[in-house]
Chains A and B, each alone.
Chain A
Amino acid sequence: MNGPARLEVRELVVSFGGLTAVDDLSMTVQPGDIVGLIGSNGSGKTTLLDAVSGLVPAASGTVLVDDEDLADYLPEERAAFGVVRSFQECRLFPELSVEDTLLITEDARKSSDVLSATMHLPWARRVERAKRKAVDGVIASFGLEQFRYHQTRHLSTGTRRVVDLAAIVLARPRLLLLDEPTAGIAQREAEAFIPLLRRLQEVTGATVLIVEHDVPLVFELCSTVVVMQTGKVVASGPPEAVRRDRKALDAYLGASDEALLASGPLEGAADQSPGRAGP
């Protein structure tokens, strides 16, 4: 079970009471792809991620990861299967230190058994030491040393996101679901996220499905862009194709041209605003 996973969603329906958040949605994400999921608020993007990671039950339809039906998998079992996700609000564990937050990810992969820990058995000690070593490495590579003993609730949103990304590296995902990784981060820092996310994909070697409101970021980062509206896919394809697809853009942006222009030249619109469409 190594290498990037293939995600296939077939005729998925998720509803809350009378509201159908994901409506008969089918999509496939090829191994190693970075797929961006865009759509207006309430179009069901986060719900789709929740359904894939098992946090909300599907009313019907199937979620397949590497052709394995995940219906009977608990969220924690999906995580063990390599389906790892980040959360929009990135709350993490407020009262745990950065070090412990990262150790939790290690715990999930190799749980310390209470009895041998209590008895101070040598191998329990070895396991704990190995975990700490792995965490030390990630702390060093993400530059988190100065925050090591800080509780995550004392951290700024940006730092919390970095901790979250560090945890993702430790989790060794095969399918990575990122829910608005740049939410609550200033535009300038968000731009710095693009190489970071790309690096993340290289390091983990995972297939990435990313929900993001920052359209320029999605268009720059992703190899495929999927546009959702009211629980359905309205358009998908490579960024250039989606960018040209006026219908998809209307669906998503409600014809807000500034955001479009910020994302690069648009056919027919390019001559109207040469300012941002430079090389």
Chain B
Amino acid sequence: MSVPPAIVLEGAILGLNYGLLAVGLVLIYRTSRVLNFAQGQLGVVAAVFIVKCYYDFGLNYWFALFLGLALAAGAGALSELLLRRIFGRPRVTVMVATIGLSQLLFLFTVLPFIRPKQLYRAFPVPIHWTFHIGSFLFSPGDVLSLIVAPIVVVALAAFIGLSRWGLAMRATADNSESARLSGVWVRRTSTVAWTIAGVLSAVTAVLASPGQTSVLTQVLSPGLLLLALLAAILGAMVSLPVAFAAGIGVGVVQEVLEWNITNPSSGSATVELILFVLLQLALLVRATSLQTGARTYERSSWAMGTASFRLHVDGLRKSVGRTGIGVAFLVAALLPMVVGVGHSYLMSQVCIYAVIALSLTVLTGWAGQVSLGQFGLVAVGTDLTAHLGTSVPLVLLLPLAGLATALVSVLVGLTALRIRGLYLAVSTLGFAFFMQSSVLTTPCWTVPLLRRRICTGLPNPQSTLISRPSLFGLSLSSEQTFAWFSLGVLVLSVLMVRTWRDRGIARRFIAVRDNEVTAAATGIHVVRTKLLAFALSGFIAGYAGVCLAFWLERFSTDTFDPTVSILVVSMVVIGGIDSIAGALLGALYLVGLPAIFGTTTTTEFLTSGVGLLAFILYLPGGMAELMHRFGDLATGVTRAARQRWDPPSSRLPGATDSDGGAGHGEGPVGTPLTEAVP
């Protein structure tokens, strides 16, 4: 392995970006205990605005820079004000809210007074210095990074170490309630931290943007954020200097590895593989220090604290619910006959995404294991379909893919035995990246010791084509029949998951999620239960992957972009995290709604970003809760109507609560976990 010094320096410059982002992540985490997925996007808004000021408004560079930094500072402070009211909620909820925030911030970059006329313009740099090491030329942008980044970090470290604010931040981080009682103004401290993080993110974007070839708005992509997270985790989410240094280290490792790659097509996959292993190792090694001390609540997984299942409903409410389900199913079943090809195609998509969302309902909603990499599992099913194609009958392929994916899912779940909550989310996000950019991109690879070639990736990573099979002699090639097939798969999935809910599997998951120690002392096998959740979730994701493959007929590695995994998480959160109906509603909202307005990134992000924030902030039970309230209302109306038409003597005693089921008070809203024993 050759390591020219210039490559190391280039890696270090790249690593400065990771380091700065990591410092921002740690800063927010230390004060608000929030894993801020919007950290990169805060700066992107500023960078885009600087380009706008510089080129379109013709402003002086420094003035444009000042305006950009001010915008980022304001965006940071506003974000904190927006999210403040949910800081007391489970950490994972807040993390998903920051995903919504980042999508909302993305929308800022398309606003006419922020978005520049040309997005591909070179980012301005105030200096013109360059230098050589050997034959490597370092651009003015590189020089700027080398000068500015260390200064910023040292200044920040001094601010936190020496100033009153820094002390307040550290106190808030250790125990915000004690800090508050000791007279620290916790809220303002938190706002200051977010403001600083916003500026920091803007500085990162300003330093990272020159020399970027991609669109400006992509400058701090999720992939880059993941590497920053790796650095932050190496610093145990606490240490700014370690996080910064680790960021530089990650950059160097990445550059050196890439330099030593001989085969460009499989090489980047190897780099991704090594970074993935690094991330998992960092999480596993750091798991103890990440989860000990005052931060015990981070061990907790996704307990929404919201009403999960509707615990008990009367007969009338139940029949109203059944009527609703029946009508919805009937409409869905008739839809392909009425609508055109395009809408049938869309309906298949909604159904398949609903199935994928269901897999997350089981895993995240019930078992409390947060996965940001569910599409990585879907990819396993799709990949298997790409290899087997129509050689295996569809009825066999579906369960086969399910079982294979369940196995992979259990392997992913093994890390969950040690790391939880936020860190499991990071780990699974890493898995999604790994699946996309390492497993799927490499059609075949040689096992080092056995000298055997194994072909696990997509046969053609750029474009894999498959044709739709037939099911029981019925060809699925028309969009209409495929829509029915997708609906059928969805209905069967719902029935299966309902069985799990009503026959004691969900309650075991919830018991382990809510109180692991008591569950174990009661005699519930904790490890087995957790892995079972991963297996069941993986099973669903796997056969959903088969459906996805046949629905698309043509796919590439881009199909499995990790942002899609995040979209699926948004679905279940918007729909109602532990509700079966919620998964369906979430898919309908996030896939169906944007399609009506034309599927662009803007509409997708608008619906999911606004939806996520609105539901998490104001209606934690999600769309399922809305649906149940509507059901309660319909029940109330029905009951009132009956009372009016029936003679009073025939009324049942106790049927006087004419306000319907809505009068359950603080009683939880949701579907019954356990139907009354027949």
**Interface residues, chain A, with chain B CB atoms under 8 Å away:** 53, 55, 74-76, 79-80, 84-85, 87, 91-97, 99-101, 103-105, 107-109, 111-112, 114, 117-118, 120, 124, 128-129, 131-132, 136, 148-151, 154, 167, 171
B526 within 8 A of A: yes
Among A53, A108, A129, A132, the one with the most B-chain Cβ atoms within 10 Å of its Cβ is: A108
Please tell me if the beta carbons of A171 and B522 are within 8 angstroms of each other in the complex.
Answer: yes
Give B54 Cβ to nearest chain A Cβ, in Å. 53
Interface string of B553-593 (1 = CB under 8 A from A): 00000000000000000000000000000000000000000
List the B side residues contacting A96 at CB < 8 Å.
507, 510-511, 514
Q: How far is the CB of B389 from chain A (nearest CB, A)?
A: 28
Q: Is the CB of A79 within 8 A of B522?
A: yes
Q: Which residues of B contact A149 (CB under 8 A)?
A: 311-312
- Distance A97 CA – B521 CA, assembled complex (angstroms): 19
Count of B interface residues, CB-CB < 8 Å: 35
B505 at the interface (CB under 8 A from A): yes
A150–B520 touching, CB < 8 Å: no
| B contact face: mostly helix, strand, loop, or mixed | helix
CA distance A12 to B524 in the complex (A): 26
Q: Can you pick out 18 interface pairs between chain A and chain B where the beta carbons lie within 8 Å of each other? A: A76-B523, A84-B522, A91-B515, A92-B518, A93-B511, A93-B519, A95-B303, A95-B514, A101-B511, A103-B504, A104-B511, A111-B508, A114-B505, A114-B536, A117-B499, A117-B500, A128-B504, A171-B522
On whether the beta carbons of B504 and A107 are closer than 8 Å, the reply is yes
Q: For the complex, what is the distance from the CA of A167 to the CA of B503, rounded to whole Å? A: 19
A53 touches B518 (CB 8 A): no
Partner of B523, one of A93, A109, A117, A128: A109
A101 CA / B536 CA spacing, docked (Å): 22
Supposing A55-B517, A96-B511, A96-B514 touch, asked if A108 and B674 sit within 8 A by C-beta, the answer is no
B626 at the interface (CB under 8 A from A): no
A-B CB contacts (within 8 Å), total count = 113
Tell whether A107 pairs with B508 under 8 Å between CB atoms, given A75-B520, A91-B515, A132-B677.
Answer: yes
Partner of B514, one of A87, A93, A167: A93
In angstroms, Cα B666 to Cα A124, docked, is 34
Bound together, the chains give a CA A112 to CA B504 distance in angstroms of 7
Residue of B at shortest CB range from A83?
A: B521
From B505, B526, B536, name the one whose CB has the most chain A CB atoms within 10 angstroms.
B505
A93 and B524 form a contact (CB under 8 A): no
Chain A residues within an 8 Å CB radius of B677: 129, 132, 136
Q: Does B476 contact A (CB under 8 A)?
A: no
Seed contacts A92-B515, A107-B507, A128-B503; 11 additional CB < 8 Å A-B pairs: A75-B520, A84-B522, A87-B518, A96-B514, A107-B504, A112-B504, A114-B532, A114-B536, A117-B505, A154-B666, A167-B522
Which B residues are CB-close (under 8 A) to A148?
A: 312
Collect the chain A residues with CB atoms within 8 Å of residue B668's CB. Answer: 151
Q: Which residues of B contact A55 (CB under 8 A)?
A: 517, 520-521
Residues from chain B with a CB closer than 8 A to the CB of A97 are 309, 311, 673-674
CA–CA, A151 and B511, complex, Å: 12
A117 touching B519, Cβ below 8 Å: no
| B504 cross-chain contacts in A, Cβ below 8 A | 103, 107, 112, 117, 128, 131
Q: How far is the CA of A85 from the CA of B519 in the complex (A)?
A: 11
What residues of chain B lie closer than 8 Å to A118, measured between beta carbons? Answer: 496, 499-500
